[in-house]
């Protein structure tokens, strides 16, 4: 085997990860042409730069003797190349059944969990996998068929973070033809996975039926797709950066103001919403459909309107802003015990709602009687004791000549949901006298220049 050449489309891993050229790297090694080509070129890097190379192989427990053959081949090849090999045996069908996954998804989860474990145990900060330009085209076609957004059409990223380092794909610029030519030129034999021709798998159908037709129509389609993805990825980075700036300027406690949210370009606000959702949900992805629903909610701007999102996340309109939070936070109400406390002049501490009501006898300067935290009452209109209590079912107050439901008035006032249970209800023996931010009973407010009880609410 030759150890002194690199394909011109191979990208040195350390130029992508930022690590030193001699830093350790783990190779996902199946024994197929792609992973063998990758392992061999990394051994060239070992010769040129002192790169410490390790390999990891997973026997998925799917293909019986063929899988055992692949494992034996990987052991022999790694030994011939002088590369330490870590091997893991798994029962992927059982794992898939237990977790309700497809075999493909289960195999991927098991494989990358093993790679993470190897990186953690041996302190290896880089993981290299053998995705090629053909794999990238398959991914782009798959995402196009699903109606993916720009991030999906960008194809396979060259790098991504893992639990214990960085995953890198040095061969994304190499086509499968390049890989086979490299193997032939370097005398590399490899094994073939028989499931690669099983067209029950989506990628195999694309590989067998769709891509050959595209190559017949446009012989340079694989290379053209690679160039397209590189360009689109730069566009995606730009738009994502603008979304981050939008969030930095507008986000307050996981909420965004409606006016700029509805008036800014969709390409920016959609990404801002996805980033905000990922923050609130702990890294989950928001789909195109749910982004549209969120923006529709924002454009309608109806106070207290709500929207349920996946993974226990909810959205609501409050105070001219779109709020995202966990559903239990939105539905939770403060545990306020029933209370009835007398009100006297001076400061009254209302501990059940963590509030103060300050009453001062003075002359009324203004007619303040509606939707205020401060108001002046005519003491002559108070019947018996003045006291404060919590809201109760069926509460009514007389406003503008009619008895009005307190529940309906609070809703019409568009008060934040979290504030409503904490509103103190000021009463006398005849009923409700005043509720801050809602109103004062007909005839109870003091006229300008008359004796008054000035009431200040501090919530």
**pLDDT average per 10 residues of sequence, the chain (459 residues):** 76 94 96 96 96 96 88 96 96 92 91 97 97 93 85 91 95 95 94 70 78 89 92 93 95 93 95 95 91 95 88 90 86 78 95 92 63 84 95 93 92 78 94 93 89 90
**C-alpha span between 150 and 267 (Å, rounded):** 10
Q: What is the pLDDT of residue 1?
A: 44
Say if residues 171 and 38 touch (Cβ distance below 8 Å). yes
* H helical segments located in 123-157: 133-145, 150-153
pLDDT of 327: 85
Report whether 223 contacts 132 (CB < 8 A).
no
**E-only strand ranges, 310-401:** 313-318, 321-326, 340-342, 346-350, 355-363, 374-377, 387-389, 396-399
CA distances in angstroms from 301 to 161, 246, 309, 344, listed in the order given: 38, 20, 18, 42
Q: Which residues pair with 326 in a beta bridge?
A: 313
pLDDT at position 196 is 63
Structure tokens at 26: 């783990």
Give 3-state DSSP helix, strand, coil % of the chain, rounded to 5: 45, 20, 35
In this predicted structure, what is the pLDDT of residue 447?
86
Say what the pLDDT of residue 199 is: 59
- The pLDDT assigned to 418 comes to 73
**Residues with Cβ < 8 Å from 59, sequence gap 6 or more?**
67, 68, 70, 71, 87, 88, 89, 90
Q: What element of type H or E holds 44?
A: helix 33-49
pLDDT at 203: 74
What is the structure's pLDDT at 115? 97
C-alpha closest to that of 228 among 150, 314, 130: 150
**How many residues does this entry show for the chain?**
459
Residue 394 near residue 358 (C-beta atoms within 8 A)? no
- Measured at the CA of 160, the angle between CA 178 and CA 203, to 5 degrees, comes to 50
What's the token pair of residue 137? Answer: 């085209």
Query: Of the candidates 84, 87, 82, which has an alpha carbon nearest to the alpha carbon of residue 57?
Result: 87
* pLDDT recorded at residue 209: 82
Consecutive H or E run containing 268: helix 266-281
Eight-state DSSP code of residue 210: I
């Amino acid at each position: 085997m030759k150890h002194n050449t690199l394909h011109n489309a191979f990208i040195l891993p350390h130029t992508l990860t930022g690590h030193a050229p001699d830093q350790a790297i783990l190779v996902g090694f199946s024994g197929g042409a792609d992973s063998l080509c990758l392992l061999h070129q990394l051994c060239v890097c070992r010769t040129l730069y002192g790169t410490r190379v390790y390999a990891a192989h997973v026997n998925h427990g799917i293909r019986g003797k063929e899988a055992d053959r692949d494992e034996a081949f990987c052991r022999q090849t790694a030994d011939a190349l002088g590369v330490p090999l870590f091997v893991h045996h798994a029962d992927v069908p059982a794992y898939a059944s237990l977790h309700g996954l497809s075999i493909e998804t289960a195999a991927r989860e098991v494989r990358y969990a093993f790679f993470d474990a190897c990186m953690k145990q041996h302190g290896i900060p880089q993981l290299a996998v053998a995705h090629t330009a053909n794999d990238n085209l398959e991914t782009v076609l798959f995402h196009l068929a699903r109606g993916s957004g720009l991030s999906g059409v960008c194809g396979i990223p060259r790098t991504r973070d893992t639990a214990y380092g960085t995953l890198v794909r040095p061969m994304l610029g190499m086509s499968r033809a390049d890989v086979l030519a490299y193997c032939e030129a370097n005398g590399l034999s490899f094994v073939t996975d028989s499931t690669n021709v099983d067209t029950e798998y989506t990628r195999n159908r694309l590989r067998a039926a769709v891509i050959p037709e595209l190559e017949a129509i446009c012989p340079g389609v694989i290379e053209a797709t690679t160039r397209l993805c590189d360009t689109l990825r730069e566009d995606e980075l730009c738009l994502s950066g603008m979304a981050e700036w939008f969030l930095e300027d507008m986000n307050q406690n996981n909420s965004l103001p409606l006016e700029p949210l509805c008036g800014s370009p969709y390409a920016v606000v959609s990404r801002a919403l996805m980033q905000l959702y990922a923050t609130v949900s702990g890294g989950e992805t928001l789909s195109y459909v749910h982004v549209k629903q969120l923006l529709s909610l924002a454009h309608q701007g109806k106070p207290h309107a709500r929207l349920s999102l996946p993974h226990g996340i909810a959205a609501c309109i409050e105070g001219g802003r779109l709020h995202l939070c966990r559903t239990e936070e939105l539905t939770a109400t403060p545990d306020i015990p029933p209370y009835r406390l007398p009100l006297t002049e001076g400061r009254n501490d209302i501990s059940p709602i963590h509030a103060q009501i300050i009453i001062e006898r003075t002359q009324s300067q203004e007619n303040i009687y509606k939707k205020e935290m401060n108001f002046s009452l005519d003491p002559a209109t108070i019947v018996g004791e003045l006291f404060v209590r919590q809201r109760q079912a069926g509460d009514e107050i007389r406003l503008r000549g009619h008895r009005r439901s307190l529940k309906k008035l609070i809703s019409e006032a568009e008060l934040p949901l979290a504030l409503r249970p904490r509103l103190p209800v000021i009463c006398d023996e005849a009923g409700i006298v005043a509720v801050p931010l809602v109103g004062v009973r007909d005839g109870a407010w003091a006229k300008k220049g008359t004796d008054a009880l000035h009431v200040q609410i501090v919530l």
